[in-house]
Amino acid sequence: MHKKLLVIAASAAMLALPAFALADEEHSGFDRSLHCADTVGSPVVNVTEKIKNDADSGIAGNNWALDALERHITVWKTATPGTYCATVRDEGSFQAFAGEKSPGNTGVLTGNERGEIQGGYVATITGSLLQNPAGKTKGRVDAVDYRCDEQGNCPGYVSWMGQYFTAGYGSTMPWWGWIYDGGKFGTWVNAASGNSGDILPAVSGEGHGD
């Protein structure tokens, strides 16, 4: 999910919580955190796009999985001229690379690990909207295949912000977080509030099979 700059170390208090309990807590927190305040009027962008083959990185800096996402992007003007707020909500799935370090950097993946993703981020964007945006501003837009490889080369990557804002725009991300539910492979929480858990090879005989 192009999160190399987003991973942070988990606090000792968070690591003391069971992974499933933390995931439940964070999920409800994610829902509360994915909103914009101080907005003006109706959304200027309100679209949904499908993304395939997006490289996902862990705390060791390596790409550990490819993601397939359904992404909902909503952008509002704010009361501050030239400033916009966006919420990006992701739902989808991940498939691990074989031989890579796990996202929490506590093991090595076999490539069989897979599961579901939920989360997203809030972005504050400064700049101007394009008069003629590259994509539709409402409804479903064209699917994008990032075509990322294990090294993080993504020749098909398209910045959604670049589709709607003029060159030179700036952005910050005051909140972000994703939950990876791998079932028998574990749960990984990667969020601005901290990281917890991991996605790891399943113990033989555990779970419901592949």
From CA 47, how far away is CA 89, in angstroms rounded?
Answer: 11
What would the mean pLDDT of 155-160 be, rounded to a whole number? 97
CA distances to 121, 129, 169, 187 from 43, rounded to whole Å, are 16, 12, 18, 34
Res 33: pLDDT: 78
Question: Could you tell me if 38 and 85 are in contact, meaning their C-beta atoms sit under 8 angstroms apart?
Answer: yes
Band of pLDDT at residue 28, cut at 50, 70 and 90: low
pLDDT tens per residue across span 48-65: 999 999 999 999 999 999
Give the count of beta carbons closer than 10 Å to the beta carbon of residue 100: 20
pLDDT tens per residue across span 195-208: 999 999 987 544 44
In this prediction the pTM is: 0.84
Q: Is the pLDDT of residue 171 over 50?
A: yes
The tokens for 194 are 């901290």
